[in-house]
Amino acid sequence: HMEIYKEEVFGPVLACMEAKDLDEAIQITNANPYGNGCALFTKSGAAARKYQSEIDVGQVGINVPIPVPLPFFSFTGSRASIRGDLNFYGKAGVHFYTQIK
């Protein structure tokens, strides 16, 4: 796999991978240690439903890039995408990055 696939990178970045079939796409997604988000581009509604149901990520886009939440919404990553007891989204992020006067 590409070096960018092996690390958690925050964008804007677009890393594209091609799978030979749907099962390989699911395997590639679930084999990555990070679970922030991914997207699948397909013409098949059945493939989209199967992919969305069988992957373990916080955000998934079907025929669109992943939706990136604003800081006031909670973080939806999973697996190694969450480090420590706080994340930078939601109230915890606002408190961390602001100074209350």
- Separation CA 94–CA 27 (nearest Å): 36
DSSP codes of every residue in 63-83: SSPPPPPPTTSPP---BTT--
Tabulate helix, strand, coil % of the chain (nearest 5): 30, 10, 60
Q: For residue 57, what are the contacts with CB-CB under 8 A and spacing of at least 6?
A: 29, 35, 36, 37, 38, 77, 78
22-31 and 45-54 helices, crossing angle to 10°: 20
DSSP 19: -
Using a cut of 0.95, tell me whether the model's pTM lies above it.
Answer: no
Element (H, E) at 52: helix 45-54
Positions of the chain with pLDDT lower than 70, given as ranges: 1-2, 10-12, 67-97, 101
